[in-house]
Each structure stands twice: as C-alpha cells, then as structure tokens.
Amino acid sequence: MALPFANASFNVVLCQQGLQFFPDRLAALREMHRVLVPNGRLGTASVRPTPQSQDPARFTYTRLYCTPDNESHFETVTVDLAKVDATPPLPPTFVKANPASRTILAGFDPRWGAHDLQARKFHPAPSAQFVVYLQGVMSITTTDGDTRHFGPGDVLRVEDTAPCKGHISVVGDKTAFTMISR
C-alpha cells in the first residue's frame, strides 16, 4: 500500500477504525509515518483489536510490550491450547496454564485517566499481567501513538513495565471493571 503523497507532507496522520483491516499493519504504519513531517503526530484507533477465535484449541489476545528503546507497542498473539482431561467425567477441554500469584478485581470511575491523556502522561505497568475486561470500555494508548479500545470479553497482556515509558489508560463514559491476573 502506498499513499499518494510525498514524504513529510503532513503534521498529523489519523487512522481511525481502519488499521485492523490492513493485512500488513506494520507496512501501513510505516507508510503513514513516511508522509509525516519530522516530529509529526500519528494516531490510530480500532474498535475490536483482537479477532474472536472460533477454534477452541487456539486463543488470541492483544499484547502490550516494550522495545529496547523503552517505547510501547501492541501486537496480536495467538496461543495453542492443549486438550486436557481435567474434569472427568466431563469431556476434555482446551487449556494453557500460566502461573499467577494474585488476581485482582478493579473498578474504575467514568473518564478515569482522561487527565493523563490530556497531559500525555504515560505510565508503565506495575508488573506483567493479564487484564480481562468485564464491563465498560477502556482505551489504551501506546507511546507509538496507537490507541485501542477494549471492552467486555477482551484480554490484554500488559508487559510494559519500568523502565518502559508505558501507556495511557482512559475509561469511557461509563464505569469499567477488569480482572487482573499477575
């Protein structure tokens, strides 16, 4: 995909509700970056970042990770689950075990984190953790400018711990609840 514009043509590039439709998202982001002026701003947003799997042997979630330059990014991860006879006499189920030391239920007021977004105040995660979204919507913005929206049923693996610059979390207009597993 090539945008029909010269290099460094725009101060701002916004891709809203479109990035998830590109087969090669990284190539699309590179092309958007190409048409930005130096120190320009790139913003993206997608409604449902993680495809829903119909295969019970495979689970897909979004990963928020940090690169060696301490910048944060998203990627989609799919893991294979093993068929296990864990609860006889019931039929076998598909599982993948990850040790967890603690589970937290967290509630957030509407618009929680909005001030951080206005101030562009990024924060690293306190520890690597899985976040399962139970109610409401939360937007997460990475330092590369990507914003994704997570709602009920979405799973996010957060790994952007210090010294990573982190991310910005903002709750939508209604109360949100998550379950965090560390």
- Tens digits of residue pLDDT in 107-119: 999 999 999 999 9
Tell me, yes or no, whether 133 and 174 share the same domain: yes
Tell me, yes or no, whether 19 and 87 share the same domain: no
Give the C-alpha separation, 96 to 81, whole Å: 5
Tell me, yes or no, whether 55 and 83 share the same domain: yes
**Contact (Cβ atoms closer than 8 angstroms) between residue 165 and residue 70:** yes
Domain count for the chain:
2
Tell me, yes or no, whether 82 and 140 share the same domain: yes
**Contact (Cβ atoms closer than 8 angstroms) between residue 81 and residue 56:** yes
Give the C-alpha separation, 158 to 174, whole Å: 23
Q: What is the mean pLDDT of residues 45-54?
A: 58
**pLDDT, position 52:** 62
DSSP H or E stretch at residue 59: strand 58-66
On average, the pLDDT of the chain sits at 86
Backbone φ/ψ region at 166: left (φ over 0), alpha (ψ -120 to 50), beta: left
Domain interval for residue 20: 1-46
User: Is the whole model's pTM more than 0.75, yes or no?
Assistant: no
* 54-103 tens-digit pLDDT: 788 888 899 999 999 999 999 999 889 888 887 788 888 877 777 777 88
CATH value at residue 137? 2.60.120
Q: Residue 179 is which amino acid?
A: M
